[in-house]
Amino acid sequence: MPDDAYPELEPVPVDSIVDTQGLRVALTRFESVQGEVQGPGEVAGAAVRVTLSLTNEGDGDLDLDLVVLNAFMGNQRDPAETYEQPGGSPVTGTLAPGETAEGVYLFRIPEDRRGDVTFIVDYRQSESAVVFRGAIS
């Protein structure tokens, strides 16, 4: 559930485009993959590879190193574990006004838990997080 210390915008469907505080945010692609083990304690499993698109519509640069995408399953928001592979490539660097960046993130989400998934995009400490919620394939 949302925490007052970490404000969130109202959830929108996963296929929405959100314009907020000079930033356009969208989840543009969902792919079913097999998450790959990269280190001790990790477990391979069914995963979803998500492409996050950010367009800076503001006047100043956006620090992409502050952008975090998290995923949760079900109404109780069980956290989805993350993977780096195959193909993970988070956004990094600086996004100038008018530019678009895409990042790729992987989450361990079993096929039977994909009917209700929440994705939360945190991008700036002073702004409410963007929340997408719905079924993914």
Asked if the structure places residue 8 within a domain, the reply is no
Structure tokens at 78: 């069980």
| Residue at token pair 């929440």 | 118
Q: Compute φ and ψ for 51, nearest 5 degrees.
A: -100, 125
- In tens, the pLDDT along 57-110 reads 999 999 999 999 999 999 999 999 999 999 999 999 999 999 999 999 999 999
Residue 5 lies in a domain: no
Cα 101 to Cα 4, 25, 34, 132, distances in angstroms: 29, 10, 25, 18
Q: What is the pLDDT of residue 6?
A: 79
CATH number, domain at 47?
A: 2.60.40.4170
Q: Which structural domain range is residue 48 located in?
A: 17-134
In this structure, the dihedral spanned by the alpha carbons of residues 67, 80, 89 and 19, taken in order and rounded to 10 degrees, is -40
